[in-house]
Homo-oligomer: A and B are copies of this chain.
Amino acid sequence: MDQGAARDQVLDAAEELFYGRGIQAVGMDDIRSLSGVSLKRLYQLFATKDRLVEAYLERRDLSWRRRLADHVEACDDPEGRIIAVFDWLERWFAEPGFRGCAWINSFGELGATSATVATQARRHKQAFRSYLETLAAEADLPRELAGQLLLLAEGAMVTAGILGAPETAAQARTAAGLLVESARRARRAAPAE
């Protein structure tokens, strides 16, 4: 097994375990067992557990945002793309093993004691906010709308994670539609802004 494949297997195992059980509940030995990569190799790839956690969050950030963007960009209508964000959330919440947002969870667990985790969480949420701002701009809607949509999406992730209510995403989508409509109406009333 070459370096790259080992790295992938380690990160696959890390993602499954860290996301599913929490970071502190998973030992390096668990990672080793699930990945089949020896401890020696594991420590050659990631010098400390902290580095592994960082790599896990970074890789997941890329794939999470990629999956979201792939779904959203299948829609041509700019306002439809905003709503599509919430469609994708609904799909995500229904995936087996869904346990809330990885960054919200890690931040709750280690935000106060690990600068690495706090930074990753902030970065991820900022990137998500920027993405919503882009979508709002493309629909010619004001930037404040993006902030409001962010709150709805974050609230939906938390609520779906804790209460496990599958209808949460649909509620968020309805609310998002109403806020988009309000923003559109405001634009019409004062088009030059």
Give A contacts to B, CB under 8 Å: 20-22, 24-25, 99-100, 103-113, 121-122, 125-126, 129, 144, 147-148, 150-159, 161-163, 168, 171-172, 174-175, 178-179, 181-182
Contacts and interface: CB of A to CB of B under 8 A. Distances in A.
This chain's copy number in the assembly:
2
A82 to B, nearest CB: 14
Of listed A20, A104, A105, A121, residue having the most chain B CB within 10 A: A104
| A contacts with B: majority SS | helix
A150 B174 CA distance: 13
A158 B162 contact: no
Contacts of A147: 168, 171
A61 B108 CA distance: 17
